[in-house]
Amino acid sequence: MSKKQTPDKGAKQSPSREDRLKSALKANLARRKAQVRAKADGLSTPKPTGTKDEG
């Protein structure tokens, strides 16, 4: 009778690859959220146009 060989090598690589992809996606999402927050903070605060009073 022949024995079924389980792809142990492939099984070990798949979860680690998925874990790497998951962590990369999570880091990318966190970076993008931080960029959006920084951009929103920059838009909400008025930039000083100068020190002279016009009028």
Q: How far is CA 21 from the centre of its chain?
A: 11
pLDDT computed for residue 41 by the predictor: 86
Confirm whether pTM is higher than 0.85: no
Q: Where are the beta strands (DSSP E) in the chain?
A: none
Q: Which residues of 18-37 are buried (b: 16+ CB within 10 A; e: fewer)?
A: eeeeeeeeeeeeeeeeeeee
pLDDT averaged over 10-residue windows placed end to end, the chain, 55 residues = 61 76 97 94 68 61
Sign of the CA dihedral running 40, 44, 45, 47: positive
pLDDT computed for residue 10 by the predictor: 55
Sign of the CA dihedral running 20, 26, 28, 34: negative
